[in-house]
Structure 1
Amino acid sequence: MSLISSTEMLQTAKTNQYGIGAFNVHSLDMIYAVTEAASELESPVIIQTTVGTVKQLGEDVIVAAVKNAAEKYHIPMALHLDHCQDYNVIIRCIRAGYTSVMIDASMYSFSENVQKTLDVMKVTKHLNVNVEAELGKVGGVEDNIVVDDEDAEKAIPAECANFIEQTEVNTLAPAIGTAHGIYSGPPDIDFKRIEKIASLVSVPLVLHGGSAIPDEEVKRCVKLGMAKMNISTELKNAYSAALQKHFEENPGKFDPRSYFSKAKEEAKIVIKEKIQLLESQNQANDCLKNANTLYV
């Protein structure tokens, strides 16, 4: 099985009111943590990388590893470039084989955001590649993008509808009160805003800042139309904590196969918890009903 575009995958999830986890990976073995966990639960899944990870590992290496995992585990998988502001990096990743990209122009004016999104949409018009954009400003830190709390802005529902109409973008990440990273206090999610945006647009919505949101609030977001949830910090922290624990308990034991396998298993626990929370387990076949139109 090859990689697929996330467009139909997310539409299917939205229609059937479950969510699909999009997990940020930072190393090759984290790719296999995600795919093994998803395979064991028969869940569709999205693997995503930041621009920093692309620069560290190389887009060709990432694509080759993810394609190999897709062929090995036989589950619907998409590969997504997260929060990219650089048009050239987006083009490189599409050429390498990414099946989904995010053009993040949310720091610009509405009209500039529209234009930068249209620039990417022109490239993907005849390709089976999902394009995600953001409206409003999600607070916190994602890779090298920092948005202070006072600069965070929630998306305006009418602007979301206007944006979709002008760009025809496939998925939209509206800022609705979540933040990247681990929360210092309870997240202030604006559920009425999500409901209003979902009533005005037909595309699946994306929940950014998905780490550490209370379970019931995640479920409510999904029922309102958030078909994709990004998980990064919780996954990274579990992986890193396992490495730290290994060296605290086993000083002088430096076999990478030992400590990386422990980190991978801890990451899989988090991934499975999120898949079950989003209720995407046993939905692999649901996402493959139109597989002949999705392969890229």
Structure 2
Amino acid sequence: MPLVNTREMFKKAYEGKYAIGAFNVNNMEIIQGIVDAAAEEKSGLILQVSAGARKYANPIYLRKLVEAAIEDKDIDIALHLDHGESFEICKQCIDDGFTSVMFDGSALSFEENIRITKQVVEYAHARNVTVEAELGKLAGVEDDVNVKAEDATYTDPAQAVEFVERTGVDSLAIAIGTSHGAYKFKGEPQLDFERLEKISSLLPGYPLVLHGASSVMQEYVQMCNEYGGSIPGAKGVPEEMLARAAKLGVCKINVDTDLRLAMTAAVRKFLIENPSVFDPRKYLGPARDAIKEVVQHKIKDVFGSSDSI
């Protein structure tokens, strides 16, 4: 089946009070692990390509790997550009066959964010591509996105309504306390559910997005440390908070850090235990299995999207 955009996917998620997982991809094994998990759980899926992935693997190569996945599995898959920093990059990905793009104008003024988002929306909608935008700033680091904790700003509910109405954007990434990478705020991770509920009440039926929503699964942090690493005791967003957000209008939840941790832990473990092995298939196989295990857990136990297709 062909790639799909996110419009119908989000409509069903909002009505069913669950979220669709959006997982960052960089190579074949990551894509295979994610897609295998989603197929077993009978869940829709968003595979997203970041700035770092575009530089590392080339979006055309990744698109062809995703096309292989949709030939192999009978599930709904959207191919999404994550954190597109300009109209030109969004346009390029749309022209290359992406079915969903994000324009990230969160570092711009409110009016400039609206202007470029609207430009992206007009180009994308004419080609049946959906658009995500961002309002507010998340702290943390993700590829080319780097925001200090003191510069983070939460999304203003009234501005969110104006932004959506003036741009026609299909979904909106909001800042309510998540963080790119490991948690960057003092104290324990907290989400501003009062703010989320306010935004949802002002935009009924409208799909919201959470970036920086990895839980930094400690089992993989510990495994990385045990097998030759030095990853500090980083924190992530508790999974029960993500599950609650999915019932309050959040229809897309992004995951990247947890995938990186699981893959790195599996590779380190294998190579420490098998130091004479130099066949990449031998250590990338367990890494793929670890990716699948994480994604299956997120879909089934956190996001609630199992059996949604």
Same fold (TM over 0.5): yes
For 1:216 and 1:37, how far apart are their aligned partners in 2? 21
For 1:104 and 1:158, how far apart are their aligned partners in 2? 19
Hey, which bits of structure 1, 4+ residues long, moved more than 4 A? none
Q: TM-score, normalised by structure 2?
A: 0.90
What pairs with 1:118-129 in structure 2 (closer than 5 Å)?
118-129=118-129
Aligned position for 1:86: 86
Q: Does 1:215 align with 2:239?
A: yes
Displacement, 1:186?
A: 2.3
Q: Note the alpha carbon deviations across 1:228-265, whole angstroms, 9 max, x for none.
A: 00000011110111111111111120111111100000
Contact kept? 1:59, 1:92, Cα under 8 Å:
no
Q: Does 1:237 align with 2:261?
A: yes
For 1:91 and 1:28, how far apart are their aligned partners in 2? 25
- Of the three residues 235, 248, 262, the one matched with 1:224 is 248
Aligned position for 2:194: 192
Q: Note the alpha carbon deviations across 1:66-106, whole angstroms, 9 max, x for none.
A: 01101211101101110110322211111111111100000
Q: Note the alpha carbon deviations across 1:104-161, whole angstroms, 9 max, x for none.
A: 0000110011011011012112222110000010111111110000000000000000
Displacement, 1:179?
A: 0.5
- Of the three residues 227, 245, 263, the one matched with 2:287 is 263
Q: Which amino acid aligns with 1:59?
A: P
Q: Which amino acid aligns with 1:137?
A: K
Contact kept? 1:48, 1:79, Cα under 8 Å:
yes
Contact kept? 2:29, 2:287, Cα under 8 Å:
no
For 1:173 and 1:249, how far apart are their aligned partners in 2? 42
Displacement, 1:55?
A: 2.1
For 2:27 and 2:117, how far apart are their aligned partners in 1? 29
What pairs with 1:90-129 in structure 2 (closer than 5 Å)?
90-129=90-129
Q: Does 1:6 align with 2:6?
A: yes
Unmatched segments (≥5 aa) in structure 2: 216-236
SS of the residue 2:119 aligns to: helix
Q: Does 1:205 align with 2:213?
A: no
Aligned position for 1:288: none
Q: Which amino acid aligns with 1:283?
A: S
Q: Note the alpha carbon deviations across 1:192-211, whole angstroms, 9 max, x for none.
A: 10000011124200011110
SS of the residue 2:48 aligns to: strand
Q: TM-score, normalised by structure 1?
A: 0.94
Q: Which amino acid aligns with 1:186?
A: E
Higher mean C-alpha displacement, 100-109 vs 214-223: 214-223
Q: Note the alpha carbon deviations across 1:171-193, whole angstroms, 9 max, x for none.
A: 00011111011226522210010
What pairs with 1:1-296 in structure 2 (closer than 5 Å)?
1-183=1-183, 185-201=187-203, 202-212=205-215, 213-276=237-300, 277-284=302-309
Contact kept? 1:137, 1:153, Cα under 8 Å:
yes
For 2:114 and 2:28, how far apart are their aligned partners in 1? 34
SS of the residue 2:296 aligns to: helix
Q: Which amino acid aligns with 1:280?
A: S
For 2:63 and 2:193, how far apart are their aligned partners in 1? 36
Displacement, 1:52?
A: 1.6
SS of the residue 1:107 aligns to: coil
Higher mean C-alpha displacement, 49-58 vs 227-236: 49-58
Contact kept? 2:24, 2:256, Cα under 8 Å:
yes
Contact kept? 1:45, 1:78, Cα under 8 Å:
yes
SS of the residue 1:64 aligns to: helix
